[in-house]
Structure 1
């Protein structure tokens, strides 16, 4: 991937020097088909997928398999072609749960005089299990690298620092005074991005400093069934050690450096890099054990009508999984996931029906993909984007649907990620057709751009977007952002996320129409989508 940008008036941004794609006006017959989008179908699918019988659709459990079977059956009823492996609707992958025994793991700090200080694993430091190396034994110098960022032309915590063969200690988040667009701030704040940057600089380990530590000696990744390769935002085969510590432990690492931690933090928050070697090294020794389970992405295909373009694909994604059974709330322990993300799956099923109602199919082919293990870290989409069931070079775009939060009239949308490519024009086109205003991300602090499956495609160099609600309301006095946040705080990843909770099915119908029009306009446009010239996510020319 090419890391490139333009610097304009102090703001890291990309500038499109390309003309907008020539999107053809919508045919009257397509408008008529749009009117057949049926909210009753959407409600029926959500009701089935969020039923207690599916036990929260946790991958590896019977409830998730019921969801897989339901989607497969719907694909067959709709008339989709198999889009999975070996002529089926399925793509198999392995989910690996890696665990370490904190009691047998050791972390020893050593200063330059040979003095040793042992950290208590599971209390003072938490080690992330290694998904591909069952046994790890590493000793290396420690280097403090600020926020662990390296933004070309803008900011770098690695400038003048040699971290090859070393363990970098970095802060979570980004500097308060570092001005970035919300998508790029989310990308650079993401722990996986920081791990990849450290690996590219030659580091062999990463220790994150986080304000609050929560216990965690397990992690789950997606594995290639044929190879020992992990797919996860936080897995990099070149990094042997990933761990977490708190600020008091960082203070111990600063001993004998002559540095004042408070001053360093103040400088970093002002976006003034402050990186330096720490006085000593760390020795890690731990073992990971594995539990592997099979899981499935589900894919159906609508073949395009253009002899030249039908071998290219517009992909629709939605995650099929949820979090299963958890702590009881008011006597209910089943986390049904009606909004998150049965509603997204139901939306894609109705989009598929809408395509099948067309007498003339779109010029490009459409791939409808329900992915697994999003709640475990975008694992199903990470695997599919890296190993799609069609040639990766033939995927022109991904249109993702994740928890649209259909709880109010749909008057505006924020297409996360669309501003990096010509896809923004497709959203604007679809919005104009339906009278929907296109807005910027109203909740940049939520870093939603990296929390949904379109991000997996972006990391593979494929233009992608995720359409979320905007903030426009019929009543200017009504604060939709506040209302949405309050609703989410009460229901997100809770047993109360059920079919009976807050659905606006008129909005759901309009949301399906919008996302259909986005993908349809991409499929019909002769030119394939392009990244904005010089955009950070634009792949390097081959």
Structure 2
């Protein structure tokens, strides 16, 4: 018999709570600190960070520095230990915007007889700039690798295909017939995953063809995070080991198929049914292009709550929230300041209150806690990509990340969707926290939004660190209230718009409960002797090895 989803959720919650509570107990001090979570303090922090004078907290601008100064001041008042670089709270990084010079870009398509045909940059091919090299010249054979997937134990477009030293052409997205969980589907559809898989197979380039409508146009720019020495680039969607990354229109892909004597329509149909149909084209391509760079300095902020267990205090549970927003932009209804009150002043305020809650306990958690405010999330998860790949503590000692990004605190918090938790033992910690607060745990009600790869926890997942991001579920305070529809409506009206400001809709009792929930999740991880683990056989367990 199939249990109704609500009953199943409660059953799982109670099961996982029992498994978790065998190892931890919520002490009187912790419970007292939890009860002291202050919605007024949360509101005060949001109000400052979303004030017009911060001009939307764009990295590199004075408003972002004002946000840094405010958070550092709060770290000091709370009593967090500096955990950044050189004994301070900051971690310096470079945000590099790379732009391709299409006027000097030359792309030549060569057939097996040596005949050459030009591809017009910006029309027949769209090349992304290189993040580290100002000029690139490469010539290589082309191969077709279906969707560019390599899913251990399930499916691979690379079986029997030699791509070493070659440029791979792949289709964007994933075949629906694989029926991947929404988190995995989002991961494998992400261009960064296709790039990294191609690199792991020895390719030197990747060209993606999107068959579906509605794909945003290529801009000829990318933005990456770099170390101050500018030797390594970090981002969700690029890999500097590839010499060429770009897009091809459908029409050019069809031309390649005609030259190969393969049937385009049949091949696309076959890969849509997860029938590997990879092969080597008869064409090669020669590409020359130049990139120009604009660099700005920016900072992540890192504060620490020291652990008290002699063995576990050298391990870290990380709380993340992005401090940046998008600055000043197009005027909408007379306003051009994109304040980002919900996105993500509310997340930063939540972390500050979580830190206060830990300090109010008057006793140390067993593991240490890092409170990390990251930069460049709106540019592509850049600050978190840099911190997760280049942390200020030993990476192997980071056991989990609990991310807070735009919780959308506009309704009472009655149910949650912990994005990513189902892949690891963090699901037990979520169940423990939800049980304590009487919150229902649900699956992602909006899997089509691919939110799992769109916020900073994903940077930790890519480094093999279990991570999650708690979003609202579907349970409303009155019968017939469609939380999903109302949230989408609110987002369409306010997301990345000047109207996302303090005067917009906020449910501060929900904000208080959200802080309590995320505190309890990290508290559970911090107090549990065993460190979090990926589920046995889970893809992200394989990725982390």
Q: TM-score range by the shorter chain?
A: over 0.9
Deviations for 1:179-231, whole angstroms, at most 9, x for unmatched residues? Answer: 11111111111110100101111111001112645141111101111351111
Deviations for 1:287-335, whole angstroms, at most 9, x for unmatched residues? Answer: 1111111110001111112222211111100011111122222222221
In the alignment, what sits opposite 1:76?
76
The 2-side partners of 1:21 and 1:455 are apart by 28
CA gap of 1:541–1:283, structure 2 versus 1, over 3 A, is: closer
In the alignment, what sits opposite 1:306?
309
Report the alpha carbon displacement of residue 278 of structure 1 after superposing the two structures with TM.
2.0
**3-state DSSP of counterpart to 2:138:** strand
- Alignment partner of 1:364 is 2:350: no
**3-state DSSP of counterpart to 1:219:** strand
Report the alpha carbon displacement of residue 412 of structure 1 after superposing the two structures with TM.
0.8
In the alignment, what sits opposite 1:444?
447
In the alignment, what sits opposite 2:277?
274
Report the alpha carbon displacement of residue 29 of structure 1 after superposing the two structures with TM.
3.0
Alignment map for 1:266-345 (pairs within 5 Å): 266-345=269-348
In the alignment, what sits opposite 1:484?
487
Alignment map for 1:169-188 (pairs within 5 Å): 169-188=169-188
**3-state DSSP of counterpart to 2:63:** helix
**3-state DSSP of counterpart to 1:84:** coil
TM-score (norm 1): 0.94
In the alignment, what sits opposite 1:7?
none
Report the alpha carbon displacement of residue 473 of structure 1 after superposing the two structures with TM.
1.5
- Alignment partner of 1:351 is 2:354: yes
**3-state DSSP of counterpart to 2:103:** coil
Report the alpha carbon displacement of residue 458 of structure 1 after superposing the two structures with TM.
1.2
The 2-side partners of 1:56 and 1:28 are apart by 40
The 2-side partners of 1:147 and 1:417 are apart by 23
Alignment map for 1:155-170 (pairs within 5 Å): 155-170=155-170
CA gap of 1:265–1:476, structure 2 versus 1, over 3 A, is: farther
Report the alpha carbon displacement of residue 539 of structure 1 after superposing the two structures with TM.
5.4
For the Cα contact (< 8 Å) 2:111–2:283, is it kept in 1?
yes
Shifted more, 383-392 versus 504-513: the winner is 383-392
Match of 2:471 among 468, 472, 490: 468
The 2-side partners of 1:71 and 1:314 are apart by 20
Runs of at least 4 residues of structure 1 off by over 6 A?
Answer: none
Unaligned runs of 5+ in 2: 1-15
Deviations for 1:3-51, whole angstroms, at most 9, x for unmatched residues? Answer: xxxxxxxxxxxxx9xx768332312332222111111111111111111
Deviations for 1:87-132, whole angstroms, at most 9, x for unmatched residues? Answer: 1000001111111111111111111122222122123322111011
Alignment map for 1:143-542 (pairs within 5 Å): 143-210=143-210, 212=215, 214-538=217-541
**3-state DSSP of counterpart to 1:59:** coil
CA gap of 1:442–1:298, structure 2 versus 1, over 3 A, is: same
The 2-side partners of 1:315 and 1:212 are apart by 34
Unaligned runs of 5+ in 1: 1-15
The 2-side partners of 1:225 and 1:199 are apart by 25
The 2-side partners of 1:328 and 1:106 are apart by 38
In the alignment, what sits opposite 2:7?
none
Alignment map for 1:34-113 (pairs within 5 Å): 34-113=34-113
Report the alpha carbon displacement of residue 63 of structure 1 after superposing the two structures with TM.
1.1
Aligned-residue CA RMSD in angstroms? 1.7
For the Cα contact (< 8 Å) 1:94–1:225, is it kept in 2?
yes
For the Cα contact (< 8 Å) 1:255–1:279, is it kept in 2?
no
For the Cα contact (< 8 Å) 1:21–1:527, is it kept in 2?
no
**3-state DSSP of counterpart to 1:512:** helix
In the alignment, what sits opposite 1:141?
141
**3-state DSSP of counterpart to 2:65:** helix
For the Cα contact (< 8 Å) 1:306–1:363, is it kept in 2?
yes
For the Cα contact (< 8 Å) 2:342–2:408, is it kept in 1?
yes
The 2-side partners of 1:270 and 1:442 are apart by 26
For the Cα contact (< 8 Å) 2:21–2:432, is it kept in 1?
no
The 1-side partners of 2:197 and 2:140 are apart by 18
The 1-side partners of 2:245 and 2:109 are apart by 16
Shifted more, 65-74 versus 330-339: the winner is 330-339
Report the alpha carbon displacement of residue 371 of structure 1 after superposing the two structures with TM.
0.4
TM-score (norm 2): 0.93
Deviations for 1:443-501, whole angstroms, at most 9, x for unmatched residues? Answer: 11111111111111111111111111111113341111111112112211122111122
**3-state DSSP of counterpart to 2:336:** strand
The 2-side partners of 1:334 and 1:282 are apart by 45
CA gap of 1:160–1:347, structure 2 versus 1, over 3 A, is: same
